Amino acid sequence: MTEAPQGAAGEGPGGHLDLGDWSRPVVGVLGGLGPAATSVFLDVLIRATVAGSDQEHIDLLVSQHSTTPDRTAGILVPGAPDPGPVIVRDAVMLERAGVDLLVLPCNTAHHYARQVEAAATIPLLSIVETTARAAVESAGGEPIAVFATEGNIHAGVYQEAILAHGGTPLVPDRAVQEDINHLIYGQVKAGAPVDLSLFESCIERVIDRGAGVAVLGCTELSVVYDQHGYRGDDRLVDSLTELARITVRRAGKELTEPFR
């Protein structure tokens, strides 16, 4: 059996798997944050990859750790369970198993990305950086609205990334943010029907404030985008779609026409 990686990534749960007959690079997915979003990410990744057979798709090792503590609570609520060490342990576990790079299909969890990068020796593809870059390109110099969790907004995850890429972030007003919270937690995460008129209203209100595009900076909103007819809407930049695109490219595969 091959020895586990040395250093920080050589300690912790898991062990090296025999991936000799897997296609490189093997992608490790830090999933379950939340479960539906990971399922949609995997589906989008498959649809985004040019493949004429099962064997031409990307090999993945998926950690569906749905019981990871809530990321927004970890940021906003003093004394709440800290998801950071849990996400780090899962990253280390996947590296020890033998994956070549990591993806984290959760935007709020990227508040903890530096902890993952400090513990692992393999690359972590950033859903935030790739989405911010795409949003700045799409916005045509107009402000970019950020639809995200309270924790993500409070931590400035997308605001900082958009500024770093030369864009202007637009944070929703309180009424819109409360509606976004309800869509994320009261509907998608709760498995309840999605109020599409409310989602549409959120988009229209930030466009009316001058936004050129709105970033779907929460993967639960990506579920709405993918499953309710919003794919291709030029008012929206979807974070799960952008993560799927960069994953396909880093895996050395070709993107299908709808995702180019």
Inter-residue contact 195 to 215 (CB < 8 Å): no
Mean pLDDT value of segment 241-246: 98
How confident is the model at residue 259, as a pLDDT?
A: 96
Mean pLDDT value of segment 245-253: 98
* The CATH number of the domain covering residues in 128-239: 3.40.50.1860
**Whether residue 202 lies in the annotated active site:** no
**Whether residue 106 lies in the annotated active site:** yes
Q: How far is it, in rounded angstroms, from Cα 103 to Cα 74? A: 20
Which is the catalytic residue, given 92, 218, 240, 246? 218
Domain 7-126+244-259 in this protein, CATH class? alpha beta
Q: Could you report the per-residue pLDDT of 40-57, keeping only the tens digit for each?
A: 999 999 999 999 999 999
pTM of this structure: 0.92
Q: Could you report the per-residue pLDDT of 192-206, keeping only the tens digit for each?
A: 999 999 999 999 999
Question: If DSSP codes are grouped into helix, strand and coil, which group holds residue 174?
Answer: helix
Dihedral pair phi/psi, residue 38, rounded to 5°: -65, -40
Q: How far is it, in rounded angstroms, from Cα 245 to Cα 76? A: 31
Mean pLDDT value of segment 152-160: 97
Other residues' Cβ atoms within 10 Å of the Cβ of residue 208 = 8
Q: Where are the domains of the chain?
A: 7-126+244-259, 128-239
Q: Do 7-126+244-259 and 128-239 show the same overall fold?
A: yes
Which is the catalytic residue, given 106, 170, 188, 236? 106
